[in-house]
Structure 1
Amino acid sequence: MNIEKSDYLIGWRCDLQYNSCPIVQPPMVIHTARTDLDFHDQKQMKAEFWECMISSNLVEIRLSWNNLSGKLPTELGSLSKLQLIQAPRNNLVGEIPSSFGNASSLEFFGFSSNRLTGRIPNGFGQLNRLEYIGLSENRLSGFFPPTIFNLSSITTIFVPMNQLQGTLPSYIGNTLPNLYYLGISENQFTGTIPVSLSNLSNLEFLFIDGNKLTGNMPSFMNSHKLSKLDISSNHLGSGESTDLIFISSLTNASNLVELGLSGNNFGGVLPKSFGNLSTKLTGITVSNNELSGSIPSWIEKFENLTNIEMSGNKFTGNIPTEIGKLKFLQILDLSYNNFSGKIPTVLGNLSLLTKLHLDDNNFYGEIPFSLEMCQNLQGLNLSKNNLNGTIPSQVVSLSSLSLYLDLSNNHLVGALPIEVGNLDNLGELVVSRNKLSGEIPATLSRCVQLEKLRMNENFFRGTIPSSLSTLRGLRFLDLSQNNLSGAIPEYLGSFDLLYLNLSFNSFEGVLPKEGIFRNATAVSVIGNPNLCVNTPEFQIPLCKNKSKSSKKFTSSLTFKLTISLVCCILGLLLLCAFLFLYYSKKKKVPSSDSSGDTVLKLSYRSLFQATDGFSSANLVGTGSFSSVYKGFLDSTETVIAVKVFNLFRRGASKSFLVECETFKNIKHRNLVKVLTACSGFDNRGNDFKALVYEFMDNGSLDQWLHSNDEESKKLNFLQRLNIAIDIASALDYLHHHCHKTIIHCDCCVISIPQVDGS
């Protein structure tokens, strides 16, 4: 607003250089017929200056971008000649004085970006000359005065980002013929959008996003001047195919440049009329609706598009190659849909692209090398698809990537390229849940801006490189479920980590105790059998304390010597009896079983059914590389024991091959019989390997030797001696009577099953 200074009056401007009100002489102000006070860009101003401005002749007060604090004085409402008052970007607090309803000449009221509270006074509805009301980014609440919608002089209502309530009256299009800008975004308005809105022929900007509006959108047939329309984040639409019928009325808006429809309940497909909208359109945002269908080929018509945001819908089909012609495109977000096919190489033509989100779809094939042409790309998310092949070194060479690179939840293989070191500005790197292998590249040490690094659930091996000590900005680190080994680096304790997961690897040694390792709730290290800790908070074994052990040994030496002497005497007696029975029994019993049983042929499906889907209820026990399940074969009515190898553990596959080779050449009456082996794929396409044994349902030797509650399981001396002879017979066979010596694991009473008649 320009207020001409009368040629017979001296326009007086007060430029304050010091923080002292006396520089302004109130008598001078009082005798000034028209005063223009402009304190623009002055610093450290106090609310006391308001009292320097109370003059009945004041016309304009401009105080934007200062450090004004305190409350608005009620005396300002008595300025009958005041036409303009604006003080945005200050620290004003309190309520808007109701006395402003008496400022009958007021045309412009602007106090955006302050901390004002309370309601907008109803008296504003009496200001018949009011053209502009700007109160955005405050803390106002209560109902927006409906009387303001009766002021035919209003051109701009700008009150976003408050907590205002109310509805848009049905007559709004009839009482505000001059309305140019309506902005009520991010408030709590409810109800429907009035049909009369289409009568606002001068409307250019309509921002009603971020409210609780419902119903269908009216026609905009008469809104020829409409330039920007944002109705996002409401409850508009009903999920029906007719929800977007209003788009056809927007074809008359030849200057439309922005259209925001996200966060509603719109259903159906993108109508053909969409393709007839203004070619000046720069943004299409329809995310988080119920839309379906494919991306139409007419998308290439909108050559000025900078944003395409279609995430969170039910779109299907391929990405049309026509998108590659949108040379100004900066954001392409198609995430959380049902798109499929290969990622088109034409995306490499989008040289201005800054964000590419294709996550949570059904894309397959390899990551196109052409993405290396997107030299302005800052964020790339291709996670949760069916992508395969290796990670292109060209993609991880994009030094422009500064926000995130997320390739997780795919089927990517091979090593993480050493070119990842070029991402020296990257904030997040996520490659988890793939089939990546090899060592962690030492070049990662150059990614000094990393805050989040997730490489879990892959097949990475080797140690954590010492060079990663440069990543001091890390906050989240997840290397769990890999084949990593060696000691956990001490330098991790010097990082300001909030989360650390190193579980299910092969780390060894003592867990560090500084930094994040003091917070057991933020660290997970389970599943590392050779790792120990000096504090009991972690769910891993405590390290042995050598000093305490030596003291206990010294104090109990006499006791141990006595026990040893008694045991030696008893041992000699048992040995004599054992040798006598052993040699007499060896003459009667052949050392091997010559039965020619045929080998069973069992598939993964049959073992899956036999064990009820490898149910935990059928789990018999677990070992370093495998788990044993009880099963029942319907075809042969046989109870079996299925030893399933955990192929995610390093060495498990080799252990399976060794056991197959060993059991192929041994057979003895005192060794559990191997029925068959199974090698293939499970129902997820992962490698599956298992050995099938006869199931010994009479319990273990441990249960027979140490049972207290079952009388039938008590063994007499002769039975115990026979069991010992059988065990020795089996061990003698393994050690001396095979074609080559068999190396076996430890033999203990828990691992020795018993048959009937033991």
Structure 2
Amino acid sequence: MFSLASWKNGTDCCQLFGITCLTGRRVTALSLLGRPGNLTTSLSGKISPSLSKLKFLDSIYLQDLKNLTGPKPFLRPDSELPRQSRPAISAQTPRNQLSGPIPDIFPGLTSLISLSFSHNKLTGKIRNSLAILAPKLRFLELGHNSLSGAIPGYLGKFQALDTQDLSWNNFTGTVPKSFANLTKIFNLDLSYNRLTDPFPVMNVKGIESLDSSHNLFNLGSIPKWVISSPIIYSMKLAKCGLKIKLDDFRPVQTYFYDYIDLSENEITGSPVQLLNRTDYLVGFYASGNKLKFDLGSLRFSKTLK
């Protein structure tokens, strides 16, 4: 077991799981800390300030380290480092016990493409300094924390975003109109917050996964940009104030759907025509509505138990 709390410069630990050095046996040239999967379970303890002296650090993977604690990550702005050795292609610290506000480490991390602080105990608002990551950031995951306040409008400038997860926080107010600029986003999760209408019209080329469940929305109908998506596979709109007749719901594409959650709305009619057009459906959830249909009319009714 290697404890981060006992880290000292020059520690000989390159043979340990989750530690990779650039050259030699001293950790003055560490290039990677942690690896995805079970290999990182050999790391524990508090985040040591000494780690901020690792000038050649490229990647950080600290997910699934249940014993990793501390008020903030050890990263420092890479503007303090030589240009040829600036780090932070990926900064990930999900599923730990980080607490307090999101650390103000972003001004120098202009090359960051992935940022994940999910499954921690972070509080407060999303920092304005995060806006500097807009040109290159593709993955922003802040879900399962206790963040609050309004969703910053500048997030609409993150036009390279593939994935944005703000779920299971305490965000209030409306979804910024600037989200209409997120034309490349494929995965958007805003579920389990306290967001209100209006929901902006998105100009996405094709959403793959959308979850806006359990907010304070009153959408009325399923947005046209969702219905028209040619690649959507997961649509979760539980408790979104939908008032539609399911017989009339005819999305452009149903072939790839694997999850549909329309629970706790005011939906009537029959889901048969929708369900009979799916081939890979794993879960369909529609409790708390007023649906009427004959199970025998489903083409896969013989497999139901």
The TM-score normalised by the length of structure 2 is 0.82
Q: Select 1:303's aligned residue among 159, 167, 171.
A: 159
Q: CA 1:340 to 1:421, structure 2 compared with 1: closer, same or farther past 3 Å?
A: same
1:382 CA displacement = 0.6
> Residue by residue, what CA displacement relative to the aligned partner does 1:532-580 show, whole Å, maximum 9, x if unpaired?
xxxxxxxxxxxxxxxxxxxxxxxxxxxxxxxxxxxxxxxxxxxxxxxxx
Q: CA 1:355 to 1:259, structure 2 compared with 1: closer, same or farther past 3 Å?
A: same
Q: CA 1:181 to 1:189, structure 2 compared with 1: closer, same or farther past 3 Å?
A: closer
Is the 8 Å Cα contact of residues 256 and 278 (structure 1) preserved in structure 2? no
What's the % identity of the aligned pairs? 26
Please tell me the residue identity of whatever aligns with 1:269.
K
- Mapped to 2, the partners of 1:399 and 1:469 lie a distance apart of 15
Please tell me the residue identity of whatever aligns with 1:322.
S
- Mapped to 1, the partners of 2:41 and 2:165 lie a distance apart of 23
Q: Does 1:202 align with 2:56?
A: yes
**Larger helix percent:** 1
Is the 8 Å Cα contact of residues 64 and 94 (structure 2) preserved in structure 1? yes
What SS class does the counterpart of residue 115 from structure 2 fall into?
Answer: strand
Is the 8 Å Cα contact of residues 146 and 170 (structure 2) preserved in structure 1? yes
Q: Does 1:287 align with 2:138?
A: no
Q: Does 1:324 align with 2:183?
A: no
> Residue by residue, what CA displacement relative to the aligned partner does 1:730-752 show, whole Å, maximum 9, x if unpaired?
xxxxxxxxxxxxxxxxxxxxxxx
Q: Does 1:236 align with 2:98?
A: yes
1:149 CA displacement = 6.8
Q: Does 1:355 align with 2:185?
A: no
Please tell me the residue identity of whatever aligns with 1:179.
L
Q: Does 1:182 align with 2:36?
A: no
Corresponding position of 1:364: 218
Q: Select 1:265's aligned residue among 103, 121, 141.
A: 121
- Mapped to 1, the partners of 2:200 and 2:61 lie a distance apart of 35
Is the 8 Å Cα contact of residues 295 and 301 (structure 2) preserved in structure 1? no
Please tell me the residue identity of whatever aligns with 1:341.
D
Corresponding position of 1:51: none
Q: Select 1:214's aligned residue among 69, 74, 84.
A: 69
Please tell me the residue identity of whatever aligns with 2:278.
L
- Mapped to 1, the partners of 2:137 and 2:7 lie a distance apart of 35
Is the 8 Å Cα contact of residues 369 and 392 (structure 1) preserved in structure 2? no
Please tell me the residue identity of whatever aligns with 2:27.
L
Q: CA 1:231 to 1:470, structure 2 compared with 1: closer, same or farther past 3 Å?
A: closer
Please tell me the residue identity of whatever aligns with 2:243.
N
1:207 CA displacement = 1.1
- Mapped to 2, the partners of 1:358 and 1:424 lie a distance apart of 24
Larger of the two Rg values belongs to structure? 1
1:420 CA displacement = 4.2
Is the 8 Å Cα contact of residues 414 and 436 (structure 1) preserved in structure 2? yes
> Residue by residue, what CA displacement relative to the aligned partner does 1:268-316 show, whole Å, maximum 9, x if unpaired?
0101111122521111100111101122111122211111011110011
What SS class does the counterpart of residue 409 from structure 1 fall into?
Answer: coil
Corresponding position of 2:301: 471
Is the 8 Å Cα contact of residues 191 and 212 (structure 2) preserved in structure 1? yes
Is the 8 Å Cα contact of residues 156 and 176 (structure 2) preserved in structure 1? no
Q: CA 1:381 to 1:325, structure 2 compared with 1: closer, same or farther past 3 Å?
A: same
1:157 CA displacement = 6.4
Q: Select 2:111's aligned residue among 244, 248, 255.
A: 255
Q: Does 1:428 align with 2:290?
A: no
Is the 8 Å Cα contact of residues 257 and 282 (structure 1) preserved in structure 2? yes
Is the 8 Å Cα contact of residues 359 and 383 (structure 1) preserved in structure 2? yes
What SS class does the counterpart of residue 237 from structure 1 fall into?
Answer: strand
> Residue by residue, what CA displacement relative to the aligned partner does 1:504-523 show, whole Å, maximum 9, x if unpaired?
xxxxxxxxxxxxxxxxxxxx
- Mapped to 2, the partners of 1:344 and 1:473 lie a distance apart of 40
- Mapped to 2, the partners of 1:157 and 1:279 lie a distance apart of 36
Q: CA 1:371 to 1:469, structure 2 compared with 1: closer, same or farther past 3 Å?
A: closer
Q: CA 1:464 to 1:332, structure 2 compared with 1: closer, same or farther past 3 Å?
A: closer
Is the 8 Å Cα contact of residues 276 and 298 (structure 2) preserved in structure 1? no
- Mapped to 1, the partners of 2:301 and 2:244 lie a distance apart of 28
- Mapped to 2, the partners of 1:149 and 1:196 lie a distance apart of 7
Q: Does 1:339 align with 2:195?
A: yes
Q: CA 1:234 to 1:159, structure 2 compared with 1: closer, same or farther past 3 Å?
A: same
Corresponding position of 1:150: 10
Please tell me the residue identity of whatever aligns with 1:369.
K
- Mapped to 2, the partners of 1:402 and 1:369 lie a distance apart of 17
What SS class does the counterpart of residue 363 from structure 1 fall into?
Answer: coil
- Mapped to 2, the partners of 1:317 and 1:472 lie a distance apart of 46
Is the 8 Å Cα contact of residues 196 and 215 (structure 2) preserved in structure 1? yes
Higher relative contact order structure (alpha carbons within 8 Å, sequence separation ≥ 6):
2
1:180 CA displacement = 0.9
1:358 CA displacement = 1.0
Q: Does 1:375 align with 2:230?
A: yes
Please tell me the residue identity of whatever aligns with 1:176.
V
1:188 CA displacement = 6.1
Structure 2: state its 5+ residue gaps. 20-25
Please tell me the residue identity of whatever aligns with 1:225.
P
Please tell me the residue identity of whatever aligns with 1:379.
S
1:151 CA displacement = 5.1
Q: Select 1:225's aligned residue among 87, 102, 106.
A: 87
Please tell me the residue identity of whatever aligns with 1:205.
S
Superposed counterparts of 1:211-610, under 5 Å: 211=65, 212-217=67-72, 218-221=74-77, 222=80, 224-238=86-100, 243-244=101-102, 246-247=103-104, 249-277=105-133, 279-346=135-202, 349-366=203-220, 367-391=222-246, 393-416=248-271, 418-437=273-292, 440=293, 463-465=294-296, 467-468=297-298, 470-474=300-304, 497=305
- Mapped to 2, the partners of 1:324 and 1:358 lie a distance apart of 16
Is the 8 Å Cα contact of residues 228 and 256 (structure 1) preserved in structure 2? yes
The TM-score normalised by the length of structure 1 is 0.35
Q: CA 1:144 to 1:195, structure 2 compared with 1: closer, same or farther past 3 Å?
A: closer
